[in-house]
Amino acid sequence: MDALIVLDIGKTNVKLALVDAKGQLLDEQRRANAIVADAPYPHHDTDGIWHWMLATCRVFARQARVSAIVPVTHGATAALVDDAGLVLPVLDYEAELGPDDYASLRPPYAETYSPALPAGLNLGRQLAWLQQHHAADFARAHHILMYPQYWAWRLCGQAAGEATSLGCHTDLWDPQRQDYSSLVTRMGWHDKLPPLARAGAALGPLLPEVAAATGLPADCQVLCGIHDSNASLIRYLGGAQAPAARTVLSTGTWTIVAAFGIALDHLNEAADMLANTNALGQPVACMRFMGGREFAALAGNAPETCSAQELLQVLAQGSMALPCFAAGGGPFAQRQGSLVGPAPGNARERYAIATLYSVLMTDYCLDALGARGPLTVEGSFTANPWFGPLLASLRPQQAISYSDDASGTTVGGWLLRYPDASAPGNIVAQTASDLAGLAAYRANWRAALL
| CA gap 79, 95 in Å, rounded | 15
124-133 average pLDDT score? 98
Q: Which of 173, 193, 224 is the last residue of a domain?
A: 224
137-149 average pLDDT score? 98
Asked whether residue 338 falls in the same domain as residue 364, the answer is yes
Asked whether residue 247 falls in the same domain as residue 300, the answer is yes
- Flag whether 306 is in a domain: yes
Name the E strands within 74-154: 78-82, 85-86, 143-146
- Flag whether 229 is in a domain: no
Asked whether residue 174 falls in the same domain as residue 247, the answer is no
Asked whether residue 259 falls in the same domain as residue 320, the answer is yes
Asked whether residue 265 falls in the same domain as residue 405, the answer is yes
Asked whether residue 199 falls in the same domain as residue 251, the answer is no
What CATH number is given to the structural domain containing 384?
3.30.420.40
Low-confidence winner among 207-211, 241-245, 349-353, 374-378 (lowest mean pLDDT) = 241-245
Q: Which of 224, 258, 293 is the last residue of a domain?
A: 224
pLDDT digits (tens, 9 = 90+) for 305-328: 999 999 999 999 999 999 999 987
- Flag whether 101 is in a domain: yes
Mean pLDDT across the chain = 95
Burial of 368 (0-12, 13-18, 19+ CB in 10 A): middle
Asked whether residue 204 falls in the same domain as residue 324, the answer is no
Question: The domain containing residue 285 runs over which residues?
Answer: 234-448
Residue type, 370: G
Q: Tell if the pTM clears 0.85, that is, is over it.
A: yes
- Flag whether 208 is in a domain: yes
Asked whether residue 177 falls in the same domain as residue 146, the answer is yes
Asked whether residue 116 falls in the same domain as residue 56, the answer is yes
Number of domains making up the chain? 2
Asked whether residue 254 falls in the same domain as residue 175, the answer is no
pLDDT digits (tens, 9 = 90+) for 150-170: 999 999 999 999 999 999 999
Strand partners, 377: 249, 402
Asked whether residue 311 falls in the same domain as residue 396, the answer is yes
| CA gap 350, 97 in Å, rounded | 34
Q: Which of 181, 204, 224 is the last residue of a domain?
A: 224
Using the predicted structure, report yes or no on whether residue 241 has a pLDDT greater than 60. Answer: no
Which secondary-structure segment (H or E) carries 379? strand 375-379
pLDDT at 405 (0 to 100): 72
Asked whether residue 82 falls in the same domain as residue 214, the answer is yes
| CA gap 181, 175 in Å, rounded | 9
